């Protein structure tokens, strides 16, 4: 078996990370590989927005505005690098849901690649991903939607074991039902 199987089996979400983060060059290498997901008509209906430093504070202000709060949200400060995942829909015969699936696939593969490269990753979503203040802060176009952010940082040395249970595939894989006899 390849290293991909082990990488997927070992993956976990890292809700707490250190202040280290991959460089832009490291990130671009991984994004280039993640962009190879299955993509009907090769539309590439996605884009990623890199948030570092003060960008995270601006996002915190936008989240607060979306939630009707006055104090900026501290959530974006929980990791040194946030990667906004954007579905960037194209006019095509390919349905919108399929284009969103491609953007989600890129995000998931990128999270696996980051984890395999030694980085802690957590995919954060929330109702405010669809809010006007957050969309405006990200400069989203009329044919774009924010799917969430990958929070990325160093993996802390002391961590408790993952609580994730193995998936029992028998409960999730079936066959096409047999045709009923008339």
pLDDT reported for residue 180: 85
Strands 119-124, 81-88: pairing kind: unpaired
| pTM (predicted TM-score) | 0.90
Q: What is the mean pLDDT of residues 134-153?
A: 97
Q: What is the mean pLDDT of residues 125-135?
A: 94
pLDDT reported for residue 90: 96
Q: Which residues of 62-78 are buried (b: 16+ CB within 10 A; e: fewer)?
A: bbbbbeeeeebbebbee
Report residue 89 as tokens.
Answer: 């829909």
SS3 (DSSP) at 36: coil
How many other C-beta atoms lie within 10 A of the C-beta of residue 10?
11
Mean of pLDDT over the chain:
92
pLDDT tens digits, 74-100: 999 999 999 999 999 999 999 999 999
- Given a cut of 70, whether residue 159 has pLDDT beyond it is no
Which residue's structure tokens are 């409960």?
Answer: 171
Report residue 101 as tokens.
Answer: 């699936």
pLDDT tens digits, 68-77: 999 999 999 9
**What percent of the chain clears pLDDT 90, i.e. is strictly above it?**
78
Q: What is the mean pLDDT of residues 152-157?
A: 94
């Amino acid at each position: 078996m390849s290293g991909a199987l082990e990488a997927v089996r070992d993956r976990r979400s890292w809700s707490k990370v250190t202040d280290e983060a991959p460089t832009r060059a490291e990130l671009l290498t991984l994004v280039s590989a993640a962009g190879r997901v299955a993509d009907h008509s090769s539309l590439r209906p996605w884009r990623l927005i890199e948030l570092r430093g003060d960008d995270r504070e601006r996002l915190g202000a936008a989240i607060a505005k979306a939630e009707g709060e006055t104090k900026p949200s501290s959530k974006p400060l929980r990791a040194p690098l946030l990667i906004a995942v954007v579905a960037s829909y194209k006019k095509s015969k390919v349905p919108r849901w399929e284009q969103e699936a491609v953007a989600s696939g890129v995000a998931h593969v990128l999270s696996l690649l980051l984890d395999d490269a030694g980085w802690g990753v957590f995919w954060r979503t929330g109702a405010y991903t669809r809010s006007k203040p957050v969309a405006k802060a990200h400069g989203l176009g009329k044919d774009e939607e924010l799917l969430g952010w990958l929070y990325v940082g160093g993996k802390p040395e002391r961590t408790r074991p993952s609580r994730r249970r193995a998936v029992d595939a028998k409960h999730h894989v079936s066959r096409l039902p047999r045709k009923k006899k008339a």
